[in-house]
Structure 1
C-alpha cells in the first residue's frame, strides 16, 4: 500500500512540474511529409522557454520503430551546448541541425540525400528541467517513377482486341497511369477501356481509325514520367494466300532439285559410257580406198597376163581351183573380224570343148598361191 502511494505521488509531482514549466513546442506545420529520393527535407521543431526552465537544455531526434517492442534509434543529439551529428551511422554526414545554436529555440534538422530507407516516424524531444516536450513527424521518402515503357500486346489488326500497355519499373506505389491520343482528332477510340492502376488500354474490335500516336504518363506524389507509342492497325492478313504461296514455293524448289539431280545423273552416265568406249580395243580397221583400187588393178593385171600364157588344158584346172586372188569388196573390208568370212565363190565348171566353141584360145595358166604369185 505504501509503494502504491509513493508511485502516485511521483506521478502527480511530474505532472505538476510539467504544468508549472514554460517550455512549449511552437511548430504548427504538417506532421506528414512526402519527399522524393535524392532530395532534402527539413523536419521542423520550434520551441520556446520560460524563466522557470532553468535546467540544462537537451535536444534529441530519434527514429521511432513501427514495432513498439523495438528500441528507438537516436539520429542526432544536442547536449551540454554541443551537437552530436554523427550519432547514427546510416545517416552519417547527411543530418544536421538547422540552426548553429539550437538553444535559441530552433531544434529543426535538415536531412539531405534522402533514401527510401529514411522513411519512418521521427520524434523531436526537447528537455529543459523541469519541462519535457515532444513532437512527431512522419517522413515518407518516395521514388520517382522511372521512364515507362509503352508497347502493344497481341495482333494489331482490324477486328482484333488491341491492348496498349504502359509500365514503369521503378517508383513508389501507388502509381497512376493516364493515356491520351495526341494525333488526328485526339479522341480516344469509343471502345477503349482504361485501367489507371494497371496502365493498360484495351481497344476492343479495333478499326483503322484507332491508329495514331498515344502518350502514357506515369505519376506518383513526387514526380511524373511519360512515354510515346505509335499504333498502326492493319487490315487482316490473307492467311490462305500465304499458305498457297508457301506451298508453290516448296514445289518449285523440289522441281528445281529434281532437274538438277536428273542432269547430274545423265552427265555422269554419259561420261561413264564415253570412258568405256575409249577403253575398247578396235581391230581390223579397213585400209584407205586408194589402196583397194591399186591392189585390185595390180591383181587383175597379173591375172590377165597369166591367163594369156595358159593352155586349154590348164584352163580347166584353173577354173577348178578356188579363186583366192579375188579382190574382196568394200563390204568384206568393213565387215567386223568377229564374223566368220563367207567362203570364196567357186567358178562354174566348163569343159574344154565348150570353151573352144565360145572362141576361147587355149592358154596355159601357171599355178598361183593365195597372194597371187606364180608357183
Structure 2
C-alpha cells in the first residue's frame, strides 16, 4: 500500500511539473537592418502553478566557454538589461503574466544576429525555448559603369557593383530603350554583375539597367551606352603636331618682338642720358676764344712766359701744330690806347670757336 501511494505521488508531481507549456512557434527569424522584429514566446499555465512568474531572455554565447548574456527579465516587472540591446528591447505585452513573453527588438543591427533563449518559470512548472535570429542588409549604393572603348567593333563590359548588402547577391541586366533586349553577343555574370558585349555595333547603344537582389531587398542603377565609329587617330596626331608647331611659331614671334622692344627702350634711355650730359655750346666767338685762351695760358704760363704783340706771330709759326700761338696776356687795364691782338681764323676753328655773322655797321654804330 505504501508503495502504491508513493507511485501515485510521483505521477502527480510529474504532471504538475509538466503543467506549464510553451506554445510552438517558429524557431528561425529573418530581420532587416534598421527594421523591427518580434521574437515570440507564448506559454500556458495551470492552477497548480502558484509561484511568482519569472521570465528571462538570454543571448546564447556562440562559444561554450563563454557565458550567456542577459537581455531582459520579468519578475512582476520588466527589467531590460545593460548590453548591446539596451534601449531597443522590451516585452510586447504590458503584462506578460497573460501568457505572452514575446519581445520586440527595434532598429536591428547585424550584431543582433544570434541564438536567443526564452525561459519561463512558475514553480513548480518551468520551460525554455531557443530561436535563431538572422539580420540582413538590403542592397544599397549600387553603381553602374562602362569599362572599355565605346567604338564599333570593340569589346566592352558593363559592370554593376553594390557596396552594401548581405550576401549572397545576384545581378540582372536589362536593356530599357531601343529594342529593349540584350545584344546577341552579350553574356551576363549574375554573381559578378558583369555584362560583356563582343564586337559592339551602333545598334547596341541605349540605356541599360542593373538590378541587384538578395533575400530581403533590391537596388538598381542605370548606365547609358553610346557606340560611335572609330576615331581618326592619324588625323588627331597630325592636328596635334600642327597645333604644336603653330604654338611654337607664335611664341617665337612674341619673344622676338619683346627682345626688340627691350633693345629700343634701352637705346632711348642711353640717348637721353647722353643729351643730359652734353655741355652747352659757347655763346659767342669772343667768349669761346677767350675761355680757351685763358685755360691754355693758365696751364702754359710757366713755360711761355709773358707774350707781347711783337713776338706773337713768330711763336705761332713755330708752335702751329701744337697749341694756338696767338694767345697773349691781357695788359693792365690802365695801359692807354691798348689794341688787342687778332687771332687767325684757322686757329679759332681749332680752338672750337663757332663762326658768327655780324652785321655791318656805320661809324655811328647803326646797322648798314
Separation in 1, partners of 2:255, 2:51: 110
1:198 aligns with 2:192: yes
Deviation at 1:104, TM superposition (A): 1.8
Which of 29, 39, 46 in structure 2 is aligned with 1:43?
A: 39
Once the two structures are superposed, residues 186-238 of structure 1 have per-residue CA deviations (whole angstroms, 9 ceiling, x without a partner) of 11011222122222211122221111001111222222221111111121111
The equivalent residue for 1:26 is: 23
Separation in 2, partners of 1:134, 1:163: 55
- Structure 1 unaligned residues grouped into runs of 5+: 1-12, 280-375
Q: Is the 8 A contact 2:16 2:48 kept in 1?
A: no
The equivalent residue for 2:138 is: 144
Separation in 1, partners of 2:183, 2:157: 12
Q: Is the 8 A contact 1:34 1:139 kept in 2?
A: yes
- RMSD value over aligned CA atoms? 3.0
Task: Compute the TM-score of the two structures, normalised by the length of structure 2.
Answer: 0.64
Task: Note closer, same or farther for the CA distance 1:273–1:138 as it changes in structure 2 (3 Å cut).
Answer: closer
Describe the SS at the equivalent of 1:148. strand
Task: Note closer, same or farther for the CA distance 1:23–1:276 as it changes in structure 2 (3 Å cut).
Answer: closer
Deviation at 1:17, TM superposition (A): 3.7
The total of aligned residue pairs comes to 265
Separation in 2, partners of 1:24, 1:235: 76
Q: Is the 8 A contact 2:169 2:191 kept in 1?
A: yes
Deviation at 1:163, TM superposition (A): 1.2
Describe the SS at the equivalent of 1:205. coil
Task: Note closer, same or farther for the CA distance 1:18–1:163 as it changes in structure 2 (3 Å cut).
Answer: farther
Q: Is the 8 A contact 1:158 1:208 kept in 2?
A: yes
Q: Is the 8 A contact 2:28 2:131 kept in 1?
A: yes
- Structure 2 unaligned residues grouped into runs of 5+: 1-9, 275-368
Deviation at 1:244, TM superposition (A): 1.2
The equivalent residue for 2:293 is: none
Which of 62, 66, 72 in structure 1 is aligned with 2:62?
A: 66
Separation in 2, partners of 1:70, 1:88: 17
Q: Is the 8 A contact 2:160 2:193 kept in 1?
A: yes
Task: Note closer, same or farther for the CA distance 1:240–1:51 as it changes in structure 2 (3 Å cut).
Answer: same
Once the two structures are superposed, residues 74-97 of structure 1 have per-residue CA deviations (whole angstroms, 9 ceiling, x without a partner) of 111112x2221x213322222111
Describe the SS at the equivalent of 1:183. coil
Deviation at 1:56, TM superposition (A): 3.0
Describe the SS at the equivalent of 1:249. helix
Once the two structures are superposed, residues 13-53 of structure 1 have per-residue CA deviations (whole angstroms, 9 ceiling, x without a partner) of 99x8488522211132x222212112111111111123443
Which of 118, 122, 143 in structure 2 is aligned with 1:124?
A: 118
1:83 aligns with 2:62: no
Deviation at 1:270, TM superposition (A): 8.6
Once the two structures are superposed, residues 304-324 of structure 1 have per-residue CA deviations (whole angstroms, 9 ceiling, x without a partner) of xxxxxxxxxxxxxxxxxxxxx
Once the two structures are superposed, residues 102-132 of structure 1 have per-residue CA deviations (whole angstroms, 9 ceiling, x without a partner) of 1221111111121222111111111222332
Q: Aligned runs of 1:323-342 on 2, under 5 Å?
A: none
Separation in 2, partners of 1:275, 1:82: 104
Q: Is the 8 A contact 2:188 2:194 kept in 1?
A: yes
Describe the SS at the equivalent of 2:164. coil
Task: Compute the TM-score of the two structures, normalised by the length of structure 1.
Answer: 0.63
Describe the SS at the equivalent of 1:234. coil
Q: Is the 8 A contact 1:40 1:112 kept in 2?
A: yes
